[in-house]
Structure 1
Amino acid sequence: MVDWEAARAFTEAACAATFDTKPCRLIARRPGATVNHKEEDDPSRVAFDCMASIDLEPTSDIIRRYPSSDPQSGNGPVSYDAVVTAHIGDWPWLPKMGDQILIIGKRWRVEAARRDGSSRPAWFVSEVRNAGS
């Protein structure tokens, strides 16, 4: 009899070994003290290093921040520059909107995420161009 959980774990580990070739650092962010303050590092979620992959020429999918049952809600599409994926098997926390990822010598801000039930979600990111962001 086939152990499907073991087969799935093996497949996800093989994909991670093949595709996750870029070292990166995940940095949790939180809103500033007031609306007039900039976002800041979130000390409740300690930054950590991992391996990931980045696609600098992603397809132009339409991604919405918050899915709505009303397509006329004005919930505009997310603008993003790249897509980061990684195997999240033993991560202490998952990046969410506003968190930052240091990869390939650049800082990226998570604009949206897409999970499909596997251990390999995708984060749609935009390059942080201001040092104080």
Structure 2
Amino acid sequence: MIAKARKDLREALQGGFPLAQVYSFPPDRLEGPAIIIDTAPIVETGDTYATYKIGFKIVVIAASAGDTEIEVDNLDAMISRLLATLDNCEISAGSHFIAQGADGQQFLAYELTATTDYRKENNNEL
């Protein structure tokens, strides 16, 4: 069920961000623009029997443009597109930060959590 939730999220993000790299886990080397799904899911009991709320932290990395105003505009546009792409998910408050690539390059980034409901298919799943 968790693997399916991660796959579904990645597919939705790839459809919404055709020009960005979408990673199911943090990559070894960071390049923007990118969308990264964190490795640790958040799992809570759902509102009805055999349902679960599964959430993932998502990090949005803007492309480095050499101009802060352009980078902020790019990040704002990516966050807006992310919200539209995940309109069927519950989104919890996010925060911005500066991400650093392996070569010391800095990227504007934003992190939020997207949660959606899944039904347990059988007793052996999980």
TM-score normalised by the shorter chain: which range applies?
0.3 to 0.5
Question: With structure 1 as the length reference, what TM-score do the two structures score?
Answer: 0.32
Question: With structure 2 as the length reference, what TM-score do the two structures score?
Answer: 0.34
Q: Which has the larger radius of gyration?
A: 1
Normalized per residue, the structure richer in strand is 2
Normalized per residue, the structure richer in helix is 2
